[in-house]
Amino acid sequence: AQKITQTQPGMFVQEKEAVTLDCTYDTSDPSYGLFWYKQPSSGEMIFLIYQGSYDQQNATEGRYSLNFQKARKSANLVISASQLGDSAMYFCAMREALYNQGGKLIFGQGTELSVKP
């Protein structure tokens, strides 16, 4: 069964506007972490933001925020004030058994974001 689902293969956004990238997950583990990574065309994976399952508040990092709805098992990434440099692939990922050493990250299929000038 798919543990991480990103239903938007591609998205377009106008420069300076906000955009939401969707991510839903499936786990029965009470202790897990959710991650978003950005992958530009160069291929490197850039960590953006993290949300722990026990965190009470939604995570924010600069222009990135994570809309965490635990009951709905969703962890959408919101990018405010989009910039041309935000054009990239974005991956949602989950790590179960968060506090066990050597946990594995499970990735979604990704969403390709294109920012229009």
- Which residues, 32 to 61, sit near other proteins by CB under 8 A? 33, 35, 42-45, 47, 50, 52
In the bound state with other proteins, the residue whose beta carbon lies nearer, of 84 and 105, is 105
* Interaction between residue 85 and other proteins (CB under 8 A): no
In the bound state with other proteins, the residue whose beta carbon lies nearer, of 16 and 93, is 93
Classify each residue of 63-93 as buried b or exposed e, where b means 16 or more C-beta atoms within 10 Å of its C-beta.
ebbbebeeeeebbbbbbeebeeebbbbbbbb
Minimum CB distance to other proteins, residue 16 (Å): 27
* Interaction between residue 102 and other proteins (CB under 8 A): yes
Q: Sort 94 into a burial class: Cβ within 10 Å, 0-12 / 13-18 / 19+.
A: buried
Total residues at the site for other proteins (CB under 8 A)? 26
Instruction: Collect all residues with Cβ–Cβ distance below 8 Å to 69 and sequence separation of at least 6.
Output: 75
User: By the criterion CB under 8 A, which residues form the site for other proteins?
Assistant: 4, 9, 33, 35, 42-45, 47, 50, 52, 91, 95, 98-99, 101-110, 112
